[in-house]
Structure 1
Amino acid sequence: MTIKLYELLGHEDRRYSQFSWRAKMALKHKGLEFEQIPLLLTDKESIAFANTKSVPVMVDGDVVKTDSWDIAVHLDEIYADTPSLLGGSIGQGVTRVINSWCDRAVNVALGPLIARDVLDAAHPDDRDYFRESMEKMYKRTLEEVQEGRNDRVINLYRTMDPIRTSFRKGQGFICGDSAGYADYVVFSQFQWARITSPFQLLAKDDPVYAWRERMLDLHGGFARDTACYEVSGREN
């Protein structure tokens, strides 16, 4: 039975859920076939069976998973004969730290830089809901959140220093010589930005930019082949 993955549908078929991208890259890493089922942000009824109001939702036979981390753990446990995502118990522990760092640091630095742009990337039927919910979270208008981003992008640069240092020492991926789930977690942030915003986050000579290019080339260019904005790099 083909695995089903529910994800967000945006304007002009933009698939902009960062957490769904973590799941999609994990499934590709495992070499598993899956059906992508896009739905609107406001369409809670289609995933009510999973007792959740957000994506991703993965259905693998009788198993339903509603969190990108749980999806990765499930895939490693059930499909143990395919390439590992987490690298065993020690790797899983380290990857969980990266997962938390990404959600609590990278997302905090990156999100405000594209907050207003994401509104335009959302499906027109979702935009009122998106604006209301995001402005409630930020306690400001999306325009105010995004204002001055050219001066604030340096915060993202500094946040990425831990992995940039590894790349400068010759490491190709966060997980070492090849990509693993930690790479997919961090990559999901930049893929989210690439799909939703024309704003250039990284300079071309930044090792993180080169890593992102390597990530886009993985799995036959799966992540590259999606509705998005051109990534050309910031001017230094």
Structure 2
Amino acid sequence: MLGLTDIPKLFDGRFATAPIIDFGDRQMNESLAIADHLDAAYPDRPAIFACAAERAMVGFFDRWLLQLILTHVLPIYMLDAHDGSTLKDRSYYRQSREAFFGRTMEAIVADRDERLPELRRAFDPVRETIAGQAFLGGQEPNFADMCLLGLFIFIGTIATLPPLVADDPLIGYVERGLAAFGAETVSLSLNLGEKAA
């Protein structure tokens, strides 16, 4: 399995994060740039973005996830991510995160139970959207849905504290999204919702 410390060893150290796609003559590592390249390089295939307006909205959504949602996710699940990483990456993961935040990971996650409701509220715009349609993209998932599903897969894979309440409609959203791509939360062993009392 490719670990965090393996990434800088690829392609002469040009990339610090994944995903990385190697097109032979060109390598890329940013999801939206990869999607743009695929749409341009394969015009005979179904487009990832139906139009320029959809691409612009997905760009906004990607920034919303990175700048707002991840600022809630990281301090809650940082230690879980450390414990879920490969053994060879744990020292790097700990040192880099503690240097960035200026305190130990244990101190960062110490009050995560109190911060969890704020993370849950941050997803309210998604809940309101899927109250009237199956996905952010309408009746079928689009690239914005894939970004959000990827985040829920990440959290659900590592979480020792479920991010959602037991009856959260986002659980059904994730299940629909995974089913659209031939997967299911049970097979992935995702820990997304609190157990019903």
TM-score, normalization by structure 2? 0.89
Partner in structure 2 of residue 200 of structure 1: 162
Cα distance, 1:83 vs structure 2: 3.5
Partner in structure 1 of residue 178 of structure 2: 216
Partner in structure 2 of residue 163 of structure 1: 126
Cα distance, 1:128 vs structure 2: 0.7
Asked if the contact 2:163–2:193 (Cα under 8 Å) also holds between the matched residues in 1, the reply is: no
Cα distance change, pair 131–205 in 1 and its aligned pair in 2 (3 A): same
Partner in structure 2 of residue 13 of structure 1: none
CA RMSD of aligned residues (A): 2.2
Cα distance, 1:51 vs structure 2: 1.7
Which structure's relative contact order is higher, taking Cα pairs within 8 Å and 6+ residues apart? 1
Deviations 1:147-205 (A, max 9, x none): 1222211111111111111112x211111111111111122221111122222011232
Indicate whether 1:190 and 2:152 are aligned: yes
Query: Structure 1 CA distance, aligned partners of 2:38 and 2:166?
Result: 34
Aligned residues: 197
Partner in structure 2 of residue 16 of structure 1: none
Asked if the contact 1:76–1:86 (Cα under 8 Å) also holds between the matched residues in 2, the reply is: yes
Asked if the contact 1:114–1:146 (Cα under 8 Å) also holds between the matched residues in 2, the reply is: yes
Query: Structure 1 CA distance, aligned partners of 2:167 and 2:190?
Result: 20
Q: Identity over the aligned pairs, expressed in percent?
A: 26
Structure 1: unaligned runs, 5 residues or longer: 1-8, 10-38
Partner in structure 2 of residue 60 of structure 1: 23
**Which is helix-richer, 1 or 2?**
2
Give the secondary structure class of the aligned counterpart of 2:62.
helix
Structure 2: unaligned runs, 5 residues or longer: none
Give runs of aligned pairs for residues 1-236 of structure 1, distance below 5 A: 9=1, 39-44=2-7, 46-49=9-12, 51-168=14-131, 170-221=132-183, 225-226=187-188, 228-233=189-194
Asked if the contact 1:50–1:57 (Cα under 8 Å) also holds between the matched residues in 2, the reply is: no
Cα distance change, pair 65–88 in 1 and its aligned pair in 2 (3 A): same
Query: Structure 2 CA distance, aligned partners of 1:225 and 1:58?
Result: 26
Cα distance change, pair 61–200 in 1 and its aligned pair in 2 (3 A): same
Cα distance change, pair 45–136 in 1 and its aligned pair in 2 (3 A): closer
Query: Structure 2 CA distance, aligned partners of 1:90 and 1:215?
Result: 22
Cα distance, 1:91 vs structure 2: 0.4
Of 134-143 and 93-102, the range deviating more from structure 2:
134-143
Query: Structure 1 CA distance, aligned partners of 2:63 and 2:8?
Result: 29
Query: Structure 2 CA distance, aligned partners of 1:165 and 1:98?
Result: 15
Deviations 1:197-223 (A, max 9, x none): 222011232122211111222221178
Query: Structure 2 CA distance, aligned partners of 1:175 and 1:52?
Result: 30
